[in-house]
Amino acid sequence: MAGFFFARALVKWLEGMADSPAGARHVQDVEELPAAFRGEPEPVAAETEAEWVFPRVERAAMGSLFEIFLAGHDRETLIGAGEEALNQIERLDRQLSHYRDDSDVARLNANAFDHWVRLEPRMYHLLKRCAAVHAETGGAFDITIGSLVKAWGFFRGQGRIPPDDEIASLLPRTGMQRIEFDDSDDLVHFTVPGMEIDLGAVGKGYALDEAADLLRLYSVTAAVLHGGQSSIHALGSPPSGHSGTGGQGVSGAVCPPVPLPHCPTVGWRFDIKDPRDHNTVVETVYLRDEAISTSGSYEQFFEQDGVRYSHILDPRSGRPTRGMLSVSVIAPSAAESDALSTAFFVMGPAAAQEYCASRPHLKVIMMEDAAGPELRVTRIGFEGEP
Amino acid sequence: MRPQGNPTISFAPAGVSRREFITGSAAIAAALGVSLTSVAEANERRQEAAKDTRPVRCAFIGVGDQGYNVDFKAALSVPGVKMAAVCDIYKPYLERALKDVPGAEGYDDYRRVMDRKDIEAVLIAAPLYMHAPIAIAALQSGKHVFTEKMMAYTIAEAKAMARASLSNKTPSGGKLVLQIGHQRRANPMYNHAWELINQKKVLGTKGILHARAQWNRNGSWRKPPLPGMDDRHRNWRMYADISHGLMSELGTHQIHAVNWFVGAPPVAVVGLGGLDYWKDGRTIKDNVEVLFEYPNGVKLNYTSLTTNQYDGYYEQFMGKDGTLVISEEKETPAAFYREPTAAAEDWMKNSVTGPQQGKHHEVGLKLDPEATKKIAGPGVKIGEKTFAGGSAGKSAYVLEMEDFFNSVRTGAPVTCDWREALACTVAACRADEAMDKHTRIEIPASDYTL
């Protein structure tokens, strides 16, 4: 009997995901199911293990739809914790946004050249981590590209091609090596005027990590959090005997999970798909207390004179990156997977392989934007791969 | 009549003669010791001192939702602030905060923090009923205090805090700072609105005649349970013996703004409220409808609901010539609607970012929603408050904390002192009393003095 009810719960969850527009529904779960599935006592179930419930909460933030899938035994508590986690994401949106004039990013951009600016510890450490990735990737990842992003019309714009001399004039205002840090008081200083930080490549991941930490405080042991599907944090693993799979072929790369019965319990399951053909699964991964992020040229771009310009800029040249279709990175945190998926997209497969050689905790799937039907895939960190 | 343009807190109890009112008002103003001139001078000093980053060793008590996510982070955004101690009775909270400040020591008993001679200031974001005991202990041990709003659970406790701040001294014999976290005072947009109403007289020469404010939500207002924490600790806002519920937690922010803008605290209150929907074991009211009476017939109509969120929150100031609204509207957080009978003034052409139409076709103007951009330069005076250069991009929480540490370092007047905060405590307590007794409460003048 339990199996039948569980399947119905899954169908509800699936339906909710498939047709859920941003912000249309606040909370959605398995209300129509028997009492046992809402965590309420049922005489016949008294001797069995507590039943699982799978509520879902969502909210628009950071220009994306954030969703949290929770698994546990008490529906109200799970939803409450999920809403608190969404509150946390909303707070971080206010702190990290470059669209607000009272965010920490705005405070830095307005003042950090004139004088040293202090940041609260977690934000400071986020910037330090960004600086480390910047150094380790030879500048392929860089959060100081704010003025370039604006020049290319990616900030509230439809895209434009700036003249060469404009790009040349902005490059000296770009580069994390031009930021000074003072650990004694968490101070930040820009050494050049006009530098602008844009945390677009790492903010969602950071927010998901912080939200997941809050869920852990609430003793949530199994959840999946994602921001617009491009950044996903998998907390714990699905309930025993169940697993998850990304069945919804939206933009192809990574999709939110759906728990399915009778799968091995090694983590939440995600299917990484060919962005050009959603029926082709390139790789299936199982994540447990890990994150996956995908950067893709198929998602955000503009076209002019038959040329497609990706929103992912190479900070070293000041121009959109070309050559990659999609890069997915699995890392212990979503901030790291976010930063590295962007970096590897810019660096290309050979440099990414070199980077990962000394970092066995990373897994990477890279798909190249080549002509012809053959999809060129590079796998890094998977068993059986070089 | 009410002194125009004077931000000093003063009031005329209803029913007293004009002469008595003026006498009383002057007496109160003298007792409060605030005047335009001194505020302006203080702001000059404050601006000068903005560069002072002398290290201040602090203790933070109560690192829960608001405490950690807002106040703790805001305090640690101020240069020179050194967190030397963190205290919370809930271990996971304590551990979370300590991770951010590795040099700090953790405590589960605030009294032990007071023994630390190296700590100069204590920041409190504990539940309301703990504000007074912790603040008084800190002041008695010679430490400056910032505490979250509302000031205290009772009027008597709030007064005891104020007295403790006046009768105790720092170890070196200096004055103690006591600031309360009604952060609208530090918000450039609110200062801008104050300036428009009280200096530019956009509502007319008689200023505010009526005010409306509300904070409506649709939800239980309950925090989800945390493992190992009982509900009285987790949901202390739900229990009437330790919280005034909607009045203290939401209402006082807005009443503070109205008191400030009107220039006086309320003199009487009537109200209806009840526990009518969320009968889940809570003892606070889940809906309040309160009318406050101010001097000269000015009234504030205050509503807070938990079963319908229409129009969210706003503060609305109404005068003969127009209405100024500050709300949670994302695109138009502040707007001015001119009455058809009023003439357009020149300042409007310069002060606005775009036209705004009122619901009933009033001529409306969108006020500068990004007032902080004005403070990108060398500093600017908005209303009676001078924002130092480099204030651009700072949230009201950060500005509020900067003001507090500036006061600690230089002795400059605080942003929200005990007088303003006591007035908010009085409003919440007397409103609750009026609703409980189903009667009109005349607020005695003695409520507002020590």
pLDDT digits (tens, 9 = 90+) for B71-127: 999 999 999 999 999 999 999 999 999 999 999 999 999 999 999 999 999 999 999
Phi, psi of B60 (to 5 degrees): -115, 125
Query: Using CA atoms, how far apart are residues B314 and B69, in angstroms rounded to an integer?
Result: 24
Residue with tokens 């990735």: A133
Q: Which of A242, A246, A272 is nearest to A258 (CA)?
A: A246
Provide long-range contacts, Cβ within 8 A and 24+ apart, for A158-164: A158/A302, A159/A301, A159/A302, A159/A304, A159/A309, A161/A304, A161/A309
Strand partners, A307: A304
Alpha-helical regions (H) of chain A: 2-18, 75-96, 104-111, 121-136, 146-151, 164-170, 203-217, 334-347, 349-357
Which of A75, A89, A100, A101 to mutate: most B Cβ within 10 Å? A101
Mean pLDDT (chain A, rounded): 81
Structure token digits, residue A361? 């905790």
Q: Which of B250, B352, B347 is nearest to B302 (CA)?
A: B250
**Beta carbons of B372 and A185 less than 8 Å apart:** no
Query: Measured between CB atoms, does A108 come within 8 Å of chain B?
Result: yes
Query: Using CA atoms, how far apart are residues A14 and A286, in angstroms rounded to an integer?
Result: 19
Distance from CA of B76 to the nearest CA of A (A): 5
- For chain A, what's the residue count? 386
Give B66's contacts (C-beta < 8 A, 6+ positions apart).
B125, B148
Task: Give the model's confidence band at B374: pLDDT under 50 very low, under 70 low, under 90 confident, else very high.
Answer: low
Half-sphere exposure of A163 (CA within 13 A, CB side): 2
- pTM of the full predicted structure? 0.84
Strand partners, A69: A56, A224
Q: Which of B88, B131, B94 is nearest to B242 (CA)?
A: B131
Assign A181 to helix, strand or coil. Answer: strand
| Beta-carbon contacts below 8 Å between A and B | 79
Arithmetic mean of pLDDT, B13-27: 32
Query: Using CA atoms, how far apart are residues B28 and A190, in angstroms rounded to an integer?
Result: 49
Amino acid at B322: G
The helix (H) or strand (E) run that includes residue A216 is helix A203-217
pLDDT at position A28 is 32
Query: Measured between CB atoms, does B380 come within 8 Å of chain A?
Result: no
Cβ pair B164, B136 in contact under 8 A: yes
Of A94, A107, A118, the CB nearest to B392: A107
Distance from CA of A113 to the nearest CA of B (A): 11
Low-confidence ranges of chain A (pLDDT < 70): 1-49, 240-265, 299-300, 384-386
Structure token digits, residue A299? 């998602």
Of B78, B222, B396, the CB nearest to A118: B78
Residue of B nearest to A83 (CA): B224
The helix (H) or strand (E) run that includes residue A6 is helix A2-18
**Beta carbons of B370 and A101 less than 8 Å apart:** yes
Other residues' Cβ atoms within 10 Å of the Cβ of residue A51: 21
More confident residue, B157 or A229: B157
The helix (H) or strand (E) run that includes residue A188 is strand A187-190
Angstrom CA distances, A293 to A65, A283, B190, stand at 15, 14, 41
pLDDT at position A297 is 73
Cβ pair B57, B119 in contact under 8 A: yes
Residue with tokens 């998977």: A382
Number of DSSP helices (H) and strands (E) in chain B, helices first: 15, 18
**Tell me: the pLDDT tens digits for B232-277?**
999 999 999 999 999 999 999 999 999 999 999 999 999 999 999 9
Angle, vertex CA B301, rays to CA B150 and CA B250, nearest 5: 25
Which of A76, A99, A101, A102 to mutate: most B Cβ within 10 Å? A102
Query: Measured between CB atoms, does B101 come within 8 Å of chain A?
Result: yes
**Tell me: the pLDDT tens digits for B297-356?**
999 999 999 999 999 999 999 999 888 999 887 767 788 887 777 776 655 554 444 445
Of B65, B76, B372, the CB nearest to A120: B76
Q: What is the DSSP letter of B201?
A: -
Alpha-helical regions (H) of A228-362: 334-347, 349-357
Mean pLDDT (chain B, rounded): 84
Q: Are strands B105-107 and B121-124 parallel, antiparallel or unpaired?
A: unpaired
Angle, vertex CA A203, rays to CA A184 and CA B401, nearest 5: 45
The helix (H) or strand (E) run that includes residue A298 is none
Which of A120, A126, A187, A196 to mutate: most B Cβ within 10 Å? A120
Q: Which of B350, B348, B355 is nearest to B321 (CA)?
A: B348
**Beta carbons of A122 and B69 less than 8 Å apart:** no
Strand partners, B441: B269
Query: Using CA atoms, how far apart are residues B71 and B49, in angstroms rounded to an integer?
Result: 22
Cβ pair B193, B334 in contact under 8 A: yes
- For chain B, what's the residue count? 450
pLDDT at position B339 is 78
Distance from CA of A63 to the nearest CA of B (A): 15
Cβ pair A188, A179 in contact under 8 A: yes
Q: Are strands A363-368 and A324-331 parallel, antiparallel or unpaired?
A: antiparallel
Residue B43: is its pLDDT beyond 90?
no
Distance from CA of B410 to the nearest CA of A (A): 20
Assign A321 to helix, strand or coil. Answer: coil
Phi, psi of B315 (to 5 degrees): -125, 130
Residue with tokens 């606005």: B352
Query: Measured between CB atoms, does A81 come within 8 Å of chain B?
Result: yes
Query: Using CA atoms, how far apart are residues A52 and A243, in angstroms rounded to an integer?
Result: 13
Half-sphere exposure of B13 (CA within 13 A, CB side): 13
Q: Are strands B81-87 and B105-107 parallel, antiparallel or unpaired?
A: parallel
Cβ pair B356, B365 in contact under 8 A: yes
**Tell me: the pLDDT tens digits for A92-127?**
999 999 888 889 999 999 889 988 999 999 999 999
Query: Measured between CB atoms, does B372 come within 8 Å of chain A?
Result: yes
Cβ pair A158, A302 in contact under 8 A: yes
Arithmetic mean of pLDDT, B363-390: 65
pLDDT at position A8 is 33
3-state helix, strand, coil in chain A (%, to 5): 35, 25, 40
Structure token digits, residue A365? 């799937």
The helix (H) or strand (E) run that includes residue A179 is strand A179-182
Angstrom CA distances, B190 to B41, B42, B332, B384, B392, stand at 21, 19, 14, 11, 15
pLDDT at position B344 is 66
Query: Using CA atoms, how far apart are residues B210 and B297, in angstroms rounded to an integer?
Result: 8
